[in-house]
Structure 1
Amino acid sequence: MACVGGYMASGQWKRPEDTSTTKDTIKYYTDLARLADRGKISAIFFADWFVGFDVYGGSLDTMLNAAHQVAHLDPYALVSAMAAVTNNVSFAVTQSTTYSTPYVLARQFSTLDHLTGGRCAWNIVTCFTDSSAQALGHDKIMGHDERYDMADGFMDVVYKLWESSWSPDSVELDRTTGLGFDAQKIKKIEHRGKYFNVSGRSQVHPSPQRTPVLFQAGTSKSGTSFAAKHAEAIFLNTVNPQQAKKTISDLRAAAAANGRDPQSLKFFPCFMPIIGRTPEDAKEKHERAIANADPVAGLAQFSGYTGIDLAKFPLDEPMDLSGMSQAMAIQAVFRALEASEGEEKRLWTPRRLGMRMALGGLHPCPVGTASQVADVMQEWIEEADIDGCNISSVTNPGSWEDVVHLLIPELQRRGLYWDDYKVPGGTFRENLLGEKTLRDDHYGATFRWKHEDKAVSFGG
């Protein structure tokens, strides 16, 4: 996340070797991009949201004081600089459909796709906090299912702009004839729908991928339905391979029911490893992380994710949830946390929960040598049918350097990681799925240019 301070591991920015306080400089991002390119990383993934989490104590103050998940820069502005210093690594940018407009977003991603040579992706999300609604001119957030219904209509509009407005052979730029863009092959889209009315041509000529690679992370009933229809890559928040296996199996089945090849959906659970050159080195790194962790910021992060204010509970006393309407939901989280690391069942205090959140929370957080961490990942690959991992850092750039210099060589030795990009210098979709544009069985492909149409007009 492009936030000055902590993102997944609260408090670690205080360490003298950590560069998280420089996330408001170009150098931070270009250094990160160069490292990822050297490590043959598929993509750098930017989480993002509006405002920040102000549930804990009814205020954003805890997050601000802790420099945790606040001071967000807009990731759009960073990607061009990162792409300019790399040849292969791609960039996934989070953007919400709730408060964006399809025409503007389509133009932004077409621009990114051009400037990166087709190395961009869109992580599709919906906003879920009242504070984001209020900051953007609304009284409160709309209901969950309605947000996904709106997102579905949003997708129809951007598909039309990306796929339908300009013919593949509309770009001439012929110096001899003087014909630039063939107006007869560039059409207005006319969209009239429940949420959006759009009349106009795409402002940008077709980019290398036309539609960026589409990420999504929803696992609710509405989110699963949306992902099965639209997503090409899915970011998972699952605590163990058994849970991931079921989620992946269900989503692949839903995609198949939509007429898609289920293997064309790629799944990436989050991992936050601590990797040492020896077991002792890994243990020492883990102990340093614990010493610098900020459990109160971790609690505020948990409150923001769940909408449950835990500030009322004393930090070091077991939580009495008997009077809370969300008691069952919190107990389910506790069970998942215990299962994720095989922890013994014991009473949860806010501090214990905050420490877990400060060091990865619900995500797998293996500590060990590259071989030991690779063992954990291999178990997920073989048992859960994952396609890769979304790696988060404890420290910057130390965690990333350990991945590139220690973990990837071990994964390569095991045949679990490519020795080079499948298509060096190619687009993200070519390296992810083997095709430059949307697959024929993807819903978005139904909006492709048709020569017989005088305009592209659909509801939705």
Structure 2
Amino acid sequence: MPPKQIKICFLEISNVGGYMASGQWRREDDTSLEKATLQYYTDLARLAERGKASSIFFADWFVGFDVYGGSLDTMLRGGHQVAHLDPLTPISAMAAVTESVAFAVTQSTTYSNPYVLARQMSSLDHLTGGRCAWNVVTSHTESSAHALGHDTILPHDERYAKADEFMDVVYKLWESSWAPGSVQLDKGTGLAFDADRIKKISHQGKHFQMAGRHQVHPSPQRTPVLFQAGTSKAGSAFASKHAEAIFLNTFSPSQAAKVISETRSAASAVGRHPDSIKFFPCIMPIIGKTKEEANAKYGKAVSYADPVAGLAQLSGYTGIDLAPYPLDEPMDLSKMSQAMAIQAVFKALAASEDELDQPWTPRRLGMRMALGGLHPCPVGTAEEVADVFEQWIEEADVDGFNIGSVTNPSSWEDVVDLLIPVLQDRGLYWRDYDVPGGTFRENLLGQKELREDHYGASFKVKEEPSLPRPQ
């Protein structure tokens, strides 16, 4: 049997510094201070396409992490995950300089409006030629709630119930409002759109009420490719119903294998083919032409790493202020409240603590967050890092990786120029896109629109034969 071919996404964030690499922006060879320019994004898009990457995946959230010490000051001073641009804005420019690489953007169902989001994503799908995806998230921080006019956050499971209703609204707009054949644009007859095939959508639910036609005609994919990241009980149920690809926050292959197996079983239970969901754990490799060069790159990264900013990031993820804890004293995680924690964070920490058999101190937690966070950060030659990838493929049955950068752009240049040729030689990575110039879903799942076994496909309107029009 030929080896399983994986896909690679670049994990980016539209702010100063990296996703989980605090302090690296200070390096002379780092370009992340240029993220307020279009040139940064168009250069990144060209690099990703040169490496035949499936997509550039933009993480995003509202406000910043202001839990550590009770304010955002630590993150601001450290220049870590602050000064966010809206990741939707550069994608059209990135699409204009590429043909095949796709773009996944994070949007929250907690505070977005489904009618507005449906229009945004349809517009983006048109302008990219069907190369867009939506990473569906719920918002969990108090600061986001306050900034967006709410007294407090919704409880965890209610956020997912709201997200589930949100999906019903956007499916209705994307799949039901404009029937097949509704777009005519016939210059001969003068008929632009067949009004009889474009219906008004009505939705009256607990969280959303709307009535109106989708403002945009059907895009190449109709519904964008759907990413999701939650691994709690409610998040997993949501993913098994809606997700086509899942961004995994897992530290080890064994941990990933459990999540993947459970999610595929849950998808099968609701009538979906288990392989129709693709799994992308995050990984942040440091790659050298030799082992010595890789170790030197790691040493340089450590010298610039900001563990306090990393700790502030972890405080934001968990909702627990870690500032009062002495930096070098062991911490007992079992006594911490998880009431406001992202449950996956604690699962990842527990797994990594068991395997590394070292006590957690705030400084060690901060350094972990500063260099890879809750994700593996293998250091070695391209061959050694490829071995790690193979282990994850064999033990966890992953479908690809979301690769985060330690420093820009050299981390991704090393992936493209050093790692990918090794993966190709091992038969683990394609030589070209399955459908060059095609849609994201064609290159991910082999077809333009939602699979028939996907819940969203139940909203599709069956094509009807054209009726003769009265003269």
Please tell me the TM-score bracket, short chain as reference. over 0.9
Runs of 5+ consecutive residues of structure 2 not aligned to the other structure: 1-12, 465-471
C-alpha deviation, 1:317, in angstroms:
3.0
Mapped to 2, the partners of 1:426 and 1:333 lie a distance apart of: 36
In the alignment, which residue of structure 2 is the partner of 1:210? 222
Q: In structure 1, what residue type is equivalent to 2:352?
A: L
SS of match in other structure, 1:77 = coil
In the alignment, which residue of structure 1 is the partner of 2:353? 338
Mapped to 2, the partners of 1:319 and 1:378 lie a distance apart of: 34
Mapped to 2, the partners of 1:192 and 1:450 lie a distance apart of: 24
Residues 259-408 of structure 1 mapped to structure 2, 5 A cutoff: 259-319=271-331, 324-325=336-337, 334-339=349-354, 342-343=355-356, 345-408=357-420
Which of the numbers 66, 82, 88 marks the counterpart of 2:100?
A: 88
In the alignment, which residue of structure 1 is the partner of 2:454? 442
Q: In structure 1, what residue type is equivalent to 2:127?
A: L
In the alignment, which residue of structure 2 is the partner of 1:27? 39
In the alignment, which residue of structure 2 is the partner of 1:458? none
- TM-score, normalized by length of structure 2? 0.93
Encode CA deviations 1:374-426: one digit per residue, 9 max, x unaligned: 00000000110100000000000000100000010000000000011000100
Q: 1:111 to 1:321 in 2, by over 3 A?
A: closer
Mapped to 1, the partners of 2:373 and 2:118 lie a distance apart of: 34
In the alignment, which residue of structure 1 is the partner of 2:6? none
Mapped to 2, the partners of 1:304 and 1:380 lie a distance apart of: 29
Residues 132-171 of structure 1 mapped to structure 2, 5 A cutoff: 132-171=144-183
Mapped to 1, the partners of 2:411 and 2:127 lie a distance apart of: 29
Q: 1:263 to 1:326 in 2, by over 3 A?
A: closer
Contact 2:349 2:374 in 1 (8 A): no
In the alignment, which residue of structure 2 is the partner of 1:456? none
SS of match in other structure, 1:91 = strand
Which of the numbers 62, 83, 91 marks the counterpart of 1:79?
A: 91
Matching of residue 420 in structure 1 with residue 435 in structure 2: no
Q: In structure 2, what residue type is equivalent to 1:219?
A: T
Mapped to 1, the partners of 2:101 and 2:334 lie a distance apart of: 49
SS of match in other structure, 2:20 = coil
C-alpha deviation, 1:192, in angstroms:
1.2
Mapped to 2, the partners of 1:70 and 1:357 lie a distance apart of: 16
Mapped to 2, the partners of 1:353 and 1:206 lie a distance apart of: 47
Mapped to 2, the partners of 1:19 and 1:137 lie a distance apart of: 35
Q: 1:167 to 1:41 in 2, by over 3 A?
A: same
In the alignment, which residue of structure 2 is the partner of 1:243? 255
In the alignment, which residue of structure 1 is the partner of 2:79? 67
Which of the numbers 114, 119, 122 marks the counterpart of 1:102?
A: 114
Encode CA deviations 1:306-335: one digit per residue, 9 max, x unaligned: 111110012233336697545999986654
- TM-score, normalized by length of structure 1? 0.95
SS of match in other structure, 1:297 = helix
Identity %: 73
SS of match in other structure, 1:158 = helix
C-alpha deviation, 1:434, in angstroms:
0.2
SS of match in other structure, 1:76 = coil
SS of match in other structure, 1:173 = strand
SS of match in other structure, 2:192 = coil
In the alignment, which residue of structure 2 is the partner of 1:254? 266
| Aligned residue-pair number | 449
Mapped to 2, the partners of 1:36 and 1:119 lie a distance apart of: 14
Contact 2:252 2:352 in 1 (8 A): no
Q: 1:252 to 1:320 in 2, by over 3 A?
A: closer
C-alpha deviation, 1:152, in angstroms:
0.5
